[in-house]
Amino acid sequence: MSNATVSADAAAVPGYAISHLHEIALEVFSTMVRCPLIARPNDPPRVYPRDIAGTVAFSGSWTGYVSMVTSQQGARHITAALLEMEPTEVDSQVRDAFGEVVNMVTGSFRSRMVKPGETWAITMPVVATGHDLAIEPPGDVGHVARSYLMDTEVVDIHLVVTNLGR
Amino acid sequence: MRVLVVDDSSTMRRIIINTLRKLGYEDTCEAGDGREALKSLTATPADMVVTDWNMPEMTGPEFVEALRAMPDLAKIPVLMVTTQAAKEDVIVAMRAGVNDYLIKPFTPDALKDKLLTLLARE
């Protein structure tokens, strides 16, 4: 996962977890959304309207969460593609569709991370809308973010690990 | 042929129903969780059920176990569609009475293949 933006504590997140999340994000967008993601350099950061953020937490031998952030237009684009609608027809479906994509990404991440005999659970998706939304976990946690392009829309995916179970 | 789609995500229900309609199965109905699904099936039985695993109220395996315990509904074929991909998860689902299993993310063709295989058993 080269070019990933990392926090000061990102070294706490093992590289294989970051690679799993990257591969899963590409797979979910290519197979389910049918709008492939293209990884883009994070530096310099691209300014875009961060209007919607979806989060699903996981708990097992690790705890943490995966968040996805994009613009309202990006979320409409994802929703239209998932539901085989025109972007102009999309309305109230955005929250559920955006949440479902984050749910699929986190659920697949959980499945890759779980070892035999372990139990990992994930929460229901939480979707927030607003302006200039930021994923800025407080304190001493591992945080890795990766930026992608879906056509012309920016999609940022964050992995925050609050406990590595060490 | 009536197919009940059970998922707390209206998006996932719509994706599955769109695929069913493309296959010519127009008679579909939906439920947002296992309890609602059991109520719906008791009122009007379906010929097949497609269900998620992670849902409020009852998990997918709990819903399927409850379904299998109802004599009139026990034999309805069930396809589980979920991100739960570990071998242990598949075993739990099969023990609960799931007939087939599809892991998300899936391609439209993979969903079609699973649905057609299960519908052909009917």
- pLDDT category, A8, cuts 50, 70, 90? very low
Q: What is the per-residue pLDDT across A50-83, written as a single tens digit (0 to 9) for each?
A: 999 999 999 999 999 999 999 999 999 999 999 9
Q: Is the pLDDT reported for residue A1 higher than 80?
A: no
In chain A, the residue whose alpha carbon lies closest to the alpha carbon of B107 is A31
- Alpha-carbon distance of B106 to B40, in angstroms, equals 27
- CA dihedral sign of residues A63, B11, A153, A50: negative
Is the four-CA dihedral A69, A131, A35, B14 of positive or negative sign?
Answer: positive
Contacts of A114 in chain B (CB under 8 A): 86
Å between A78 CA and nearest CA of chain B: 11
Distance CA B98, CA A34 (A): 28
CB < 8 Å to A99, chain B: 9, 11
A25 reaches B (C-beta below 8 A):
no
Q: What is the pTM of this model?
A: 0.90
Dihedral pair phi/psi, residue A2, rounded to 5°: -70, 160
- Cα separation, B7 vs B3, in Å, equals 13
The domain segmentation of chain A, as residue ranges, is 4-40+49-135+142-163
Question: B75-105 burial, b if ≥16 CB within 10 A, otherwise e?
Answer: ebbbbbbbbbbbeebbebbeebbbbbbbbbb
Amino acid identity of residue B42, one-letter, is T
Of the CA atoms within 13 Å of residue A4, those in its CB half-sphere come to: 21
Mean pLDDT, chain B cut into blocks of 10 residues (122 residues total)? 95 93 92 97 95 93 97 95 90 96 91 88 71
Residues ≥6 apart with Cβ < 8 Å to A66: A21, A55, A56, A58, A102, A105, A106, A109, A157, A158, A159, A160
* pLDDT tens, position by position, A98-136: 999 999 999 999 999 998 888 899 999 999 999 989 888
- Residue B72 CB burial class (10 angstroms; 0-12, 13-18, ≥19): exposed
DSSP result, B55-90 = -SSS-HHHHHHHHHTSTTTTT--EEEEES--SHHHH
Find how far residue A37's CA is from the centre of its chain: 12
Q: What pLDDT score does A48 carry? A: 85
- Give, for B16, the enclosing helix (H) or strand (E): helix B10-22
Question: What is the CATH superfamily name and number for domain A4-40+49-135+142-163?
Answer: CheC-like (3.40.1550.10)
